[in-house]
Amino acid sequence: MTAGDIMNSYLKIFSLLLCLAFVLVSAGCIGSDSNKDDQTGPSVTASAGNQQEPTRILVVYFSRTGEQYNVGEITEGNTAVVAGMIADKTGADVFEIIPAENRYPRTYDELLEAAQKEQDENARPKYLGKGPDLSDYDTIFIGAPVWWGDWPMIMYTYFENNKDGLAGKTLIPFSTHEGSGLSGFDSKLEAACPKSTVGKGLAVKGTDAQNDQENVKKAVDEWLSGLGFWKPETSDEKMCLNENTWSKTKYMFRKRHGL
């Protein structure tokens, strides 16, 4: 066998090894990120490229049924309607603050009085349950009706009970009202939760929440888009929704900057 024959054999073996390596890499058996994926679960973050991770979202709200200003007897409170729209759009979990005692009368005039008394006494009415573990969430929408120009006192109970859990989170207030708008919900929330970041709030007229839901939904959607919450449209964007890691926000996720 000549030196040329030996060289040819080496070249053939080398080419064969090269082909084999190519086939293995293409099949995803060696190298590449797929190994990393096996260690950390399905790789959705990888397909997100430079996008930020989705946030985990919670909606906390308080709302009343019964007789309400300008809308008569209602079976779903005005704030509850808006809370539902936010949750639908963002895929958020929802926690309703329900008073532990039956302290709020059904009729509007009596409710006005009871709420005024609570405010005068700086009361901290109790609510049912502890509420979700806030370490599971990054963004928390917090909504209530405006009562005498302020958050209902039961909301202060929630802020104080969750002082530590709310620290470091992004809190986004929303109100329903009959003329007072957001009524300083944002600055009052900032004062109650100084370690949180308070985002741009939304005020919805309670009457519209009952009687003009199409337009309220548009306003809610625009507000959410302005905040950076958006609906994934392309297959790449949808792939970012890792059912395992982010099942709670599986239909929507927040992209903090860009797009």
Ligand X SMILES: Cc1cc2nc3c(=O)[nH]c(=O)nc-3n(C[C@H](O)[C@H](O)[C@H](O)COP(=O)(O)O)c2cc1C
Give the interface with ligand X as residue ranges (CB under 6 A): 63-64, 68-69, 77-80, 111-112, 115, 145-149, 176-180, 206
Smaller CB separation from ligand X, 157 or 249: 157
Q: Are 107 and 113 in contact (CB under 8 A)?
A: no
Q: Which residue's Cβ lies closest to ligand X?
A: 206
For the bound state, the minimum distance from the C-beta of residue 56 to ligand X, rounded and expressed in Å, comes to 25
- DSSP designation for 53: P
For the bound state, the minimum distance from the C-beta of residue 62 to ligand X, rounded and expressed in Å, comes to 7
Per the DSSP assignment, residues forming a β-bridge with 99 are: 127
For the bound state, the minimum distance from the C-beta of residue 33 to ligand X, rounded and expressed in Å, comes to 48
DSSP, residue by residue, 230-242: E---SHHHHHT--
Smaller CB separation from ligand X, 174 or 246: 174
- Which residue, 94, 55, 39, is CA-closest to 241? 55
Smaller CB separation from ligand X, 178 or 237: 178
Smaller CB separation from ligand X, 55 or 183: 183
Token digits of residue 27: 């099949």
**Distance (Å) of CA 197 to CA 38, 102, 192, 194, 252:** 36, 33, 11, 8, 21
What is the C-alpha to C-alpha distance for residues 200 and 70, in angstroms, rounded to an integer? 27
For the bound state, the minimum distance from the C-beta of residue 92 to ligand X, rounded and expressed in Å, comes to 18
Smaller CB separation from ligand X, 121 or 233: 121
What is the C-alpha to C-alpha distance for residues 185 and 203, in angstroms, rounded to an integer? 9
Helices and strands, counts by H and E, the chain: 11, 10
Helix H or strand E encompassing 224: helix 213-227
Smaller CB separation from ligand X, 51 or 65: 65
Q: Are 54 and 241 in contact (CB under 8 A)?
A: yes
Smaller CB separation from ligand X, 111 or 224: 111
For the bound state, the minimum distance from the C-beta of residue 182 to ligand X, rounded and expressed in Å, comes to 10
For the bound state, the minimum distance from the C-beta of residue 256 to ligand X, rounded and expressed in Å, comes to 29
Token digits of residue 62: 């308080």
For the bound state, the minimum distance from the C-beta of residue 181 to ligand X, rounded and expressed in Å, comes to 7
Helix H or strand E encompassing 144: strand 139-145
What is the C-alpha to C-alpha distance for residues 30 and 185, in angstroms, rounded to an integer? 55
